Amino acid sequence: MELMCPIDQHCSHQIAALLQPPSPLLVQEYFEQLISKRQLHGIKVKQNGEFGKGVFAETNFEEEQLILKDQMLVGIQHPSNKIDCLVCSYCFKFIGSIEQQIGRKLYLKTLGVGISPHNGKGCHDNSSDKDQDNHFVQNHHNSDDGASSSSNSTIPLPTMAVESLMNGELALPYSNKFPLPSVVSCPGGCEEAFYCSKSCAEADWESFHCLLCTGEKSEFHSRETLLKFIQHANETNDIFLLAAKAISFTILRYRKLKACHLREQEKTATSMLGTSDLSLLLEAWKPISIGHKRRWWDCIALPDDIDTSDEATFRRQIRELAFTSLQLLKEAIFDKECEPLFSLEIYGHIIGMFELNNLDLVVASSVEDYFLYVDDLPYPEKKEAEKITQPYLDALGDDYSICCQGTAFFPLQSCMNHSCCPNAKAFKRDEDRDGQATIIALRPICKGEEVTISYIDEDLSFEERQALLADYGFRCRCARCLDEEP
Ligand SMILES: [Zn+2]
Ligand SMILES: [Zn+2]
Ligand SMILES: [Zn+2]
């Protein structure tokens, strides 16, 4: 029997309003404001009937020129990656020090936390074959590129050596060439979120974290259920953590808008009819409403190992999984005035939006940079330095170079259409050390031309490309595909 979400039923009117696709005018306004607020230049988002939204050049770009940096709307570091990289929970910069990064990683490894980064993630792997992040982690673990260290085997260090790194007693040679911002703790008192600065801590608290923090000062109803929700997401699919952030973000925006609205009313001495104002909720929801969405269990690609005859069962299971996650989240942070956000219909669409706009969050590792620097030193200095650094490198093994990895929703990048002969790509330059997406021109782009990126490996054959792109819900009709079509 099909499970029912009671909120789906009695909030159906508000849910329909929230899921109404935004008008082209609203979309246009939203992006104009976003582009001007972020002081981006030379691009414009346009609606073009057949393909929906697209990003267009408003100026000429040269080959390799930066087109834009896109600040994420919501993003998370994969829980399994937290062992490897200590980053700011808001901007995703590496924090602490090279010593702390290495010491912490080795310490967590000795605790056995990091032995298998995929333990308990079986469902995640099955439920999303588009999730390239996981494949990336696996490839990364198995690769032996550029490392002067041992392959997969590591040589453990005495506990003392790890402790002296963590408590700052030992300074590694040349680590001062790689200064990192010092660690700022979460103002709510949890031991899970850390920041590069007070401003990042405050921004995260105000935008997302005050409802999802498990510390003393958090605003949850039940710490126990919040922890259960997080554990469930870690064990099944961390896309739920992203969805929870999107919901928290909308609730907090709603509260701010409402406070503002009430102040206005006091001034003008008018009364506000009803406590829950749908128009305020719609306004709070606007940034999320812009993203293209479908129900997660309808749009998720059928994994290769699932037979098409089992498709209905698979989709039902995905829906049930989302429902279980939602019940935990609801018990932990429910807000009556934002009730429609806790419906399965909305939860499914938020997750579906992340599924369809699944973009990797990647920040290069400062620890990797450090070891490459030491490796590049001239002979006598290198030999001296390696006397100290080599045991740490041996203890880390291939893990020394793991970068920060996660998933995020980037509002502008998510508007970029695909082409199998794209004129731009997402590419992090040496100086791009935070979670923003960076889009670079692959060849000269003329004013008025659409900026396109490739969602897939464009070296694949025509048939392979079309098969992969079908998971995104379209058949590619780019110039190259029209040319290669049999
Ligand atoms: Zn930060
Ligand atoms: Zn916290
Ligand atoms: Zn194509």
Distance CA 277, CA 337 (A): 8
In a domain, 179, yes or no: no
Pick the ligand that lies closest to the CA of residue 193. 2
343 close to 8: Cβ distance less than 8 angstroms:
yes
How far does the centroid of ligand 3 lie from the alpha carbon of residue 416, in Å?
14
Please give the pLDDT value at position 3.
79
In 305-327, which positions are buried (b, 16+ CB within 10 angstroms) versus exposed (e)?
A: eeeeeeeeebbebbbebbbebbb
Cα torsion through 201, 206, 209, 214, rounded to 10: 90
Residue 469 lies in a domain: yes
> Is 57 part of a structural domain of the chain?
yes
Whether residue 275 is contained in a domain is answered as no
Q: In DSSP terms, which residues pair with 267 in a beta bridge?
A: none
Task: Tell me if 223 is assigned to some domain.
Answer: no
Are the C-beta atoms of 345 and 352 separated by less than 8 Å? no
Q: Which of 153-162, 366-375, 470-479 has the lowest mean pLDDT?
A: 153-162
Rounded to 5 degrees, φ, ψ at 417 are -80, 160
Pairing relationship of beta strands 417-418 and 450-453 according to DSSP bridges: parallel
Strands (E) in 395-471, as ranges, are 404-409, 417-418, 424-426, 437-441, 450-453
CA dihedral of residues 122, 471, 307, 315 (deg, nearest 10): 70
**Cα(372)–Cα(147) distance, integer angstroms:** 9
CA 98 – ligand 2 centroid, Å: 24
**Distance between CA atoms of residues 100 and 167, nearest Å:** 8
pLDDT at 483: 94
CA–centroid distance, 205 to ligand 2, in Å, is 8
Quote the crossing angle between the two packed helices 278-289 and 24-37, to the nearest 10°: 70
Could you tell me if residue 44 is inside a domain? Answer: yes
Q: What is the pLDDT of residue 145?
A: 39
Check residue 486 and give its pLDDT: 84
Residue at 339 is within a domain: no
Q: In sequence order, which ranges of 146-186 are alpha helices (DSSP H)? A: 159-166
Query: What would the mean pLDDT of 186-203 be, rounded to a whole number?
Result: 95
> pLDDT, tens digit, for every residue of 51-105?
688 999 999 999 999 999 999 999 999 999 999 999 999 999 999 999 999 999 9
CA 409 – ligand 2 centroid, Å = 21
Ligand nearest to the CA of 433: 1
Domain count of the chain? 1
Q: How far is CA 157 from the centre of its chain?
A: 33
Kindly report, residue by residue over 169-180, the tens digit of the pLDDT: 899 999 999 999
Closest-approaching ligand to the CA atom of 208:
2
Higher pLDDT, 292 or 139: 292
How many whole angstroms from 109 Cα to the centroid of ligand 1? 25
Find the ligand nearest to 468 CA. Answer: 3
Residue 145 included in any domain: no
Q: What is the pLDDT of residues 297-340, one digit of tens each?
A: 998 888 889 898 999 999 999 999 999 999 999 999 999 999 99
| Least confident range of 57-66, 151-160, 382-391 | 151-160
| C-beta of residue 10 within 8 angstroms of C-beta of residue 388 | no
- Averaged pLDDT of the chain: 87
User: pLDDT above 90 covers what percent of the chain?
Assistant: 68
CATH number of the domain where residue 437 is located: 2.170.270.10
Q: Specify the 3-state DSSP secondary structure of 390.
A: helix
Q: Which residues form the domain of 58?
A: 40-71+410-485
Quote the ligand 2 centre to 131 CA distance (angstroms).
27
478, pLDDT greater than 80: yes
Predicted pLDDT at 33: 95
Instruction: Quote the pLDDT of residue 124.
Output: 32
Residue 136's pLDDT band, with cuts at 50, 70 and 90, is: very low
pLDDT of amino acid 120:
33
pLDDT in tens, 84-96: 999 999 999 999 9
Contact indicator for 149, 394 with CB cutoff of 8 Å: yes
Determine the pLDDT at residue 1: 58
The pair of structure tokens assigned to 282 is 């719609």
Query: Within its chain, how far is the Cα of 229 from the centroid?
Result: 18
Q: State both tokens at 118.
A: 């995929």
